[in-house]
Amino acid sequence: MEQIIRSDTIHGYFDGLSAYVADCGMEDSGEQHLVLSPLLGEGSISRLKIRQGVEVVITDMVLEEEWDQYIHEKQVLEINYCFSGLTDCYYRGNRFKSSEQSGNVYSVEDGDFRLVKQSKQRYQFVEIRMSPEQMLRYFEHTDDYRSVENWLEGQMGRISPLQDCVELKRAVTEIVRSPYRRSLKKLHMESKIMEIILLVLEPYTRAPDSPPGAFLKKHDIEKLYAAKGIIAERLENPLSLRELARVTELNEFKLKKGFKQLFGMTVFEYVRDRRLEKGVLLMQVEQLNVGEAAAAVGYNNPSNFSAAFYKKYGCTPAQYVKLQKQ
């Protein structure tokens, strides 16, 4: 299905999308829901206006046919995070492909995008949309105002990947699972938005004497990224630290310390988080039960999987899947 959407304000994208997804309801909290008809697929797209010029759009849907979206944005700063689903984005003659469990930030003025979403995939993502002016208002009367203003100027017309870290995943997950309603929900969401903004800006506002990976050389950083890729490919049967160090030609000390400094988590934490995230997808998309999902991601004992899951998400795997369906 081809969609042409002109977004003249921060809130224009959702409003334009409602013309193609007609079933729109509103809760007493002020949250709007676009529910897909069976012809389009299943699932919904929700929007909560935090304040004028700031909104959060949460998508959870499976499309019956491909969506080909042509979008004109007059002015927007967007921070998004994709839990699942692959989207092709075309902007200024370049093609960008979204990755699962990752995020991007972009700022445009009178920009044209083309987004292609595939059928039969589950799309779960969060979009924080705001005006650049509103972003600056958050930093009025602070020492960081000029740094943020410079960052906004440098970000204009660019799509930049977000640094992968546990704190980012936790914040966007808490937005999706916010337990509050009405004004408290807006307040909770705005606190999470501020947390995410600080994570996005942290590399640019950090003191110049403490950049990430300061003690690492370029070839060491490349090896650490290679280690990260190897871990992701072998979640079910991960290498030991010694084996991983040997394969990537790093000593164990540099592997452990460098991985923590570069990615914000230890090797063990990264393995655990990726296993749990893959387990969630298997339970939601493939409809595997807890035992099957645990085995598929390398847990011999489902109880260990459930214990690690509870420690990360604050609920059991079964409770989590039930909440997501609701």
Residue 30 has pLDDT above 80, yes or no: no
pLDDT band at 206; cut points 50, 70, 90: low
Q: What are phi and psi of 150, to 5 degrees?
A: -65, -40
Give the pLDDT score at 324. Answer: 60
pLDDT (average), residues 23-40: 80
How far the first Cα of the chain sits from its last, in Å, is: 27
Q: At what angle do helices 241-248 and 252-263 cross, to 10 degrees?
A: 90
Least confident of 16-20, 120-124, 263-267: 263-267
Residue 46 binned pLDDT confidence (cut-offs 50, 70, 90): very high
Q: 210 pLDDT exceeds 70?
A: no
The better pLDDT of the pair 235, 51 is held by: 51
Q: What average pLDDT does the segment 112-129 reach?
A: 95
Rounded CA gap, 143 and 38, in Å? 52
Residue of 11, 269, 312 whose CA lies nearest to 173: 312
Q: Tell me whether strands 32-35 and 41-51 are parallel, antiparallel or unpaired.
A: antiparallel
Mean residue pLDDT of the chain comes to 86
Choice between 297 and 80, residue whose per-residue pLDDT is larger: 80
Question: Residue 204's pLDDT band (boundaries 50, 70, 90)?
Answer: low
* pLDDT for residue 26 is more than 60: yes
pLDDT of res. 167: 83
Chain-centre distance for alpha carbon 262:
19
DSSP 306: H
Rounded CA-CA distance 277/274 in Å is: 5
Q: What is the pLDDT of residue 69?
A: 95
For 11, 25, 93, 100, 221, the CA distances from 83, given in Å and listed in that order, are: 23, 25, 26, 5, 26
Q: pLDDT tens, 267-311?
A: 888 888 888 888 888 887 778 888 888 888 888 888 888 888 888
pTM above 0.85, yes or no: no
Q: Which domains, ranges and CATH numbers included, belong to the chain?
A: 2-205 (2.60.120.10), 218-325 (1.10.10.60)
Cβ atoms of 23 and 37 closer than 8 Å: yes
Which pLDDT belongs to residue 269? 87
Regarding predicted confidence, which is higher, 54 or 212?
54
pLDDT at residue 28 is higher than 60: no
pLDDT at 196: 94
